[in-house]
Amino acid sequence: MIPPILLVGCGRMGSAMLAGWLEAGLAASYAVDPAPQVAVSGLRLVSAIEAVPDGFAPDAVVLAVKPQNAAATLPDYARFAGSAVFLSIMAGRTVRGIQGLLSPDTAVVRAMPNTPAAVRQGVTVAVAGPGVSEAQRDLCDRLLTAIGTVAWVDDEGLIDPVTAVSGGGPAYVFLLAELLEKAGIEQGLPPKLARMLARQTVSGSGALLAASTEESAALRRAVTSPRGTTERALAVLMADGAWPELVSRAISDATARSRELAD
């Protein structure tokens, strides 16, 4: 059983996390969202923090609001800073920055999950700020494990490249599926067939990658017959200025943007 939680923000990621907690068994909890939906058993959805009873004492406050809204939102939750651990999934917002909006001694865990959490296949990297107890860290680990795989780091600075690689990573994969579908249609495939082929190829390749102990490069080479069709396509994708350089630039820019969001 997961102890009482206060979830702040029920967007795509907040809702995905909530679904995982409910499956794991969640004690009576509250969620705050400006546009609350129908109540879920064991959870009270409210539109503002003022609707949460003064006597409610969550073990964790999960911050799932947009980082741009942090300054306007977080101070309203300072009343929980002395007792609850704050688990933040806000991109770019640092432990120190969150403490500055609550109180200097707030126990903060900063984490970056990704959207496959919706099907319990997410991956999250987390870092515990100063003052986080072992019990609080363990609770956050349970909350994050409910939606997928979790890794912990000691260097908070690593969360920015994590955000760029895995936080935004699903969007890059979805773009690949989108482009494969489009290219297939351009080559004469019926749209329905092109979509099925693109989606199943991406999802099936991901499943193979997850099941294999081989390096990604080895799996790529196994598909690439000498002087074959895949080799011809990869010659385009791996040319100077193509995928290797573009992906590196994209991750660099996303990492920089994560750091900018801390300002």
Q: Where are the beta strands (DSSP E) in the chain?
A: 5-8, 29-32, 43-46, 60-63, 85-88, 108-112, 122-128, 148-152
Please report, for the domain that includes residue 95, its CATH number. 3.40.50.720
Sign of CA dihedral 58, 64, 67, 69: negative
Considering the entire predicted model, what is its pTM? 0.91
Same domain for 179 and 142? no
Report if residue 163 sits inside a domain: no
Same domain for 116 and 9? yes
pLDDT band at 36 (very low <50, low <70, confident <90, very high): low
Same domain for 244 and 116? no
Sign of CA dihedral 24, 143, 152, 123: positive
The pLDDT assigned to 116 comes to 94
Q: What integer is the mean pLDDT of 111-124? A: 94
Same domain for 144 and 220? no
Same domain for 178 and 138? no
The pLDDT assigned to 82 comes to 87
Q: Domain range spanning residue 73?
A: 5-158
The pLDDT assigned to 35 comes to 77
In 10 A of CB 149, how many CB atoms? Answer: 14
Same domain for 115 and 11? yes
Q: How many domains does the chain have?
A: 2
Please report, for the domain that includes residue 181, its CATH number. 1.10.3730.10
The per-residue pLDDT for range 177-214, each reduced to its tens digit, is 999 999 999 999 999 999 999 999 999 999 999 999 99
